[in-house]
Chain A
Amino acid sequence: MTILQVENLTKHYVTSGGYFDGRGETIVALDDVSFDVRRGESIGIVGESGSGKSTLSRIILGLERPDSGRIVFDGTDLSTLSKRELRAICARIQVVFQDPYASLNPRMSVRDLIAEPMEIHRDILGMSNAQITDRVAELLTLVRMEEDHMHRYPHEFSGGQRQRIGIARALACKPQLIVLDEPTSALDVSVQAQVLSLLIGLQDELNLTYLFISHDLAVVRYLCQSAILIRKGKLVENAPIESLFDAPESDYGRMLIGAMPDIDPDRSPFRLKSEA
């Protein structure tokens, strides 16, 4: 069953021109991008810097409006909604950002950070402060942290712990779709693995759908059932993960997969020519 449909999404940015000529340059961030996401699935969105993958996530999160095309979430077209209705949808689509240091307000305690989405959507959830605090404790346990941690501040935690606070915050309103914007790329490799396995565990437990934005193909392969490749705003490939890795259809896909370092040293792209 489809939870998210992205149809013919296009977004241009116009850079501000100089004082004298007044004309800006047009940058195509997204060009006619369409794909579907099934409920309970993880889809990887892979592209290099500047490919438009961040723009895509910002549009899905409602932070920006597309120039044309539409996003259908669970049967409702987001562009037809009023501001109030769109706010209600925000509770069901949540995000975990790449940088766990910058995405948590340093002046807020962990309790307030995780409680924030519940306070914002209090009109929908109808929770009292005590219920919110209980839910924060529950969420902290869910992301394998301790209830006591709720009285501390973000700077007292490591990167992996902060990212788990970010995940707890994203889970607070029981969302259906979570946009993971390179959630592990700022972390150590060992911590990455912990966070990834936590994400997989949560997905099974809570029946979540992940939109996993990354430039790390190995991580995408580990977490996702299918992936789309974006380059210069265009969707170049949309395939199940195994067929993407076994037989990429696009040149870009072949290039990306060819560039992946292999565990087998004989097949590594970094091997010396003489050894080949």
Chain B
Amino acid sequence: MSEVVQSTGSAATRSARRTNWARGFYRFRQNPLSVVGLVIVVLLLLLALFGEYIAPYPEHLNGELNVANRFQPPSAEFWFGTNEVGQDIFSLVLAGARISLLSGIAVIVVATLIGTFIGVIAGYFGSWLDEVLMRFTDLVLTLPALILAMAIAAGLGPSIPNMILALALAWWPGFARMARGEVLSTKAELYVLAAKAQGGGNTRILTRHILPNITSPIIVKMSLDVGFAILAVASLGFIGIGVRPPTPEWGVMLSVSRSNLPHFWWTAIFPGMAIFLSVLSFNFMGDGLRDVFDPRARR
């Protein structure tokens, strides 16, 4: 606390916004695990964008085979070994970051937008609108998410955008329920009453008072869910909807390599580690973001 106060000693000369950023980063740094998480997430995102350009065997990404080198264990030549058709697993894992991460993130972003919108409207305006929206949400929630996503994806046809949409349409109810609950407790806060007493309209109250105060649980849930969404993307790839081999994707690689276990462990371990690492790092980063976004949550 005292450091925060001192660091803003010259606050009057700086812009308030820059001070907020500095303070936010200060809070984030307080937990080393958050920084580790952030670093790994940034690295993974860089891989997602540039992975295929730095892969040592780019030709393997386009489906080229090298059967003579199949099931090579990890070595200086093939860092993560090779798979059943002799492709370099390191190259595939690098390239796989794009589809796995970006679709996982896209699913959660779309689900958050839909869910938060519905939840906030239901919670803030209440009465019959709340009743209608939440009963519909409950209805979607009763359907098993993966089965629903399969049905939607099967109906839309197998492609990556359709898979993202299908998962998002199955994923939003959790966000809607959480957002509604948060809005219900936030709109009863005295500062919301104070804003109303000053003559503030619904738009101002929603954007200035309610949304900023419900972002932290949403962001925490988002960062947790990105990991599970990556798993869900992999699951859909496994059953042949969405991503298909030979497109490199961690989940697909993992499911294909099931039959290689336990002898050729490296074909499964490295894609699995990639999934593990991304889930973990998104979690750590989420914790750090919560510290930044919620000034009240002090350890």
Instruction: Tell me the A residues contacting B by CB distance below 8 Å.
Output: 61-63, 86-88, 90-91, 94-95, 97, 99, 102-109, 111, 116-117, 120-121, 147-148, 150-153, 155-156, 169
Of B1, B12, B14, most buried by chain A (CB within 10 Å of CB) is: B12
Q: Give Cα distance in the complex from A148 to B195, angstroms.
A: 24
* Interface range for B: 20 to 34
Say whether B239 faces chain A, with CB atoms less than 8 Å apart.
no
Closest to A95 in B: B197
Closest approach, in angstroms, between the C-beta of B17 and any C-beta of chain A? 10
Say whether B263 faces chain A, with CB atoms less than 8 Å apart.
no
Q: Which of B188-206 contact A (CB under 8 A)?
A: 189-191, 193-201, 204
List the A side residues contacting B295 at CB < 8 Å. Answer: 106-107, 153, 155
Contact A151 B200 (CB under 8 A): no
Say whether B209 faces chain A, with CB atoms less than 8 Å apart.
yes
Contact A106 B198 (CB under 8 A): no
Given contacts A95-B194, A106-B213, A156 and B16 within 8 Å (CB-CB): no
Say whether B4 faces chain A, with CB atoms less than 8 Å apart.
yes
Contact B200 A120 (CB under 8 A): yes
Say whether B8 faces chain A, with CB atoms less than 8 Å apart.
yes
Interface residue from B4, B8, B191, B199 paired with A120 (Cβ < 8 Å): B199
Closest approach, in angstroms, between the C-beta of B198 and any C-beta of chain A? 4
Contact A103 B8 (CB under 8 A): no
List the A side residues contacting B63 at CB < 8 Å. Answer: none
Instruction: Tell me the B residues contacting A by CB distance below 8 Å.
Output: 1, 4-5, 8, 11-12, 14, 16, 19-20, 189-191, 193-201, 204, 208-209, 212-213, 295-296
Of B14, B20, B196, B198, most buried by chain A (CB within 10 Å of CB) is: B198
List the B side residues contacting A116 at CB < 8 Å. Answer: 195, 198, 200, 208
Given contacts A104-B191, A155-B295, A155-B296, A109 and B198 within 8 Å (CB-CB): no
Q: Give Cα distance in the complex from A33 to B269, angstroms.
A: 77
Given contacts A102-B189, A148-B11, A151-B16, A108 and B197 within 8 Å (CB-CB): no
List the B side residues contacting A156 at CB < 8 Å. Answer: 1, 4-5
Contact B197 A147 (CB under 8 A): no
Contact A120 B197 (CB under 8 A): no
Interface residue from A91, A106, A109, A151 paired with B12 (Cβ < 8 Å): A151
- List 13 contacting pairs A-B, 8 Å CB cutoff, sorted by A: A63-B197, A90-B198, A94-B197, A102-B189, A102-B191, A103-B193, A104-B191, A105-B213, A120-B195, A120-B199, A120-B200, A121-B198, A152-B11
